[in-house]
Structure 1
């Protein structure tokens, strides 16, 4: 009886151990055309830390193919459900068929813990193609994308770095890869790090293919469990064709955040700090708006986290903030600062305290939650009469002067630049200098009048000519300053055709400054206002859109010829209309 029990236990043990090893062999599709590249993928999955692979993969007979590339990767992670170690070994072969028709691919063998496992054989179909297009197809299909993620076990909202590499037997094909499209999916957020191309490695994948890193990006999974990162797409551009290629997919093991999170925790993962302050030094007035900024700084999922706001209070009311950010890729996430600009209206006199909401984050380095104390901004509010009484005579004169300059502002004379800044203390040196200047002007005026009287005795009376109005004078000066912008258009066309993008955008900035100078406008913001007043809101809106489009194309990591052509045509049409 005991021997039967031992036999049954051994039988069950062998069945369980057999189920812990999964070996598969598959291709990306079942039908191919002529010299299409066949991607053969071998996956060995070991569920359990006691399993040991004792032999390498024994490949089937591949004499009917030409092996043009190969690569392997090994991943290990802990299954949170069964609490077992899972080791995944993946080998990929790039094959080129030598003949057409049905081709049988045999079994792959491997020995694991003294047992031999094999895959089932299958067949693929290779169709005949036109001989004229065979060379082109071979050249295009000889380009592969591979997405590599080293750290595949992360927490929710914790980033992991993905590297995108391109492989090809022909180095010349590497420069033809353009229009990289990063993956988009609801359960993860993707932020690019850079699109700079690295130096070409001429002997990757066993020395058969050249490779190059063409993109690096961060992946932030926002849900727990197994999350699959979709394939990255790109295009291979030639003079006659444009083919789309896809990378492999990568599965992440996203760990759920530990239990016991504070009530103030939302989704912040990283290391952060909260500050609140008033950007201006003006006195707060009851029922008048004041600016309050809540700043969150640190490193982590800064671009995707829910920001702490201002806590509601009967002492004040506030409106939805305007969000601005200064964020760039760091070592363990997106790093920088995010500013929430609030408009706060005090409701009572005296001292009020503006408080931020409770905030906490999860630190993946320490594997613990960190609560950030609420920050306070204490300010003293005054009535309108108290604010007026507290102003000095000089401050009142400055306010009247500023109001006057804002009222009579014209496009010819930028009177805003003469606005008087408020001073906390009276400066006697300024008063003394102004008195000296006024006295000098008075003396100069008296001397000029005396000289003019003497000159009138000896000069002959001549008929005076009309000096013209201010508008006529302005038009005359504008005509003198006007430049033939067609020279800029011809130069920009040459730069566009020569793909000198840096010089192209530099010349666009010079053209914009030249046209603004014709209308005596020093900044783009003032020029938009001027166009709206004198050229119409349509021209002003087109100018604003063009300015944004220029900035987007200028800092785009990959510049397309179609985008530059469209930008050039828009510049010619708009600036020709403005300069009429």
Structure 2
């Protein structure tokens, strides 16, 4: 019985294994120096197949493959899942400078072959100090950052240095280091005077990636991204970002026989600041229209009404939605030229706005309650909204259609009950006895001769 159960479990595991999608993932550094030794790791989520590595053209193969295996089985709510991982590690050495492409690795199982992605590695000149290169630290190459020869620095980069007032700028705070860091102790951001700032959700910095900065390899990581909307024109100066980092340093000489195994380290605190950044903010060109809303970007406008017929004193729901990309958080309430016979309340404002590296996008909805106080036909004139289009460099006006609805008399007039505003103008009558005014003339008053307290009748009743 036990053997049969074990056989069924094994068979189920095999079926589950072959039912899953087989993938081959590669981990490698994207930038290395000539003569540097590094590793390339391929991971396959399946067993029972044959792995074939590429030719490593342009690199010298020092060792490999070193194969490792891991397996796990889970039974949750009666369902069993089995996961198997095989890893193939190769040690390589860079030879010549240039950008090299390593062909995909292959994995063949049950007469079917699967391939990994190609590997792109840039080899730069040797002779510069660098951090240890770990698998998985692949990133884009090429940057405009000036290192100034420092082992560690931070940079506040802007997506643009010249914009219109109200146009968004993406700001990125990034750290560059060639020394070992054990953590970031404190970060002090500038006040960003003259800007409206919005934070962009940025993943926590847990691993540095390799980048080539003017021929030198740095470990880099993004600390925080912002969206900045300039609110004044002219040249604006952004003060430096100040960061306190913890640097890990060796406190004794390396043992010639055991290397770093018996070495001791200490952590020291180091302050790093970014350079001052300046940006030119241009005023909006031309003459501003009288109905300019103040928003800048690219937008659309639409409106909806929920009813075309209501009773007097019943509400009509009228929505205006502004959507697009730009400083939506500054979008003000659209103006409506409504009849005085329509009572309108302050709108309910709903935002569905998201910040990203490309700017602020989404929509802002204004929901109005319109209450007709007299019966008859009503019109909601077209609503206009003027904004500045940064793409065309011109003011553009958006317009909604005209909407109409009808207000019925309802039941209030028929019952004889007068409701505020619930009758038509021709039915309004003056009723002089509805309200009595307070008399300002007291009339003739006289003092009584007899005092009730002095009478025997008062004490008898009491």
Q: TM-score, normalised by structure 2?
A: 0.47
Q: Where is the strand percentage greater, Structure 1 or Structure 2?
A: 2
Structure with the larger RCO, 1 or 2 (CA within 8 Å, 6+ apart): 2
Q: TM-score, normalised by structure 1?
A: 0.39
Return the index of the structure with the highest Cα Rg. 2
Q: Where is the helix percentage greater, Structure 1 or Structure 2?
A: 1
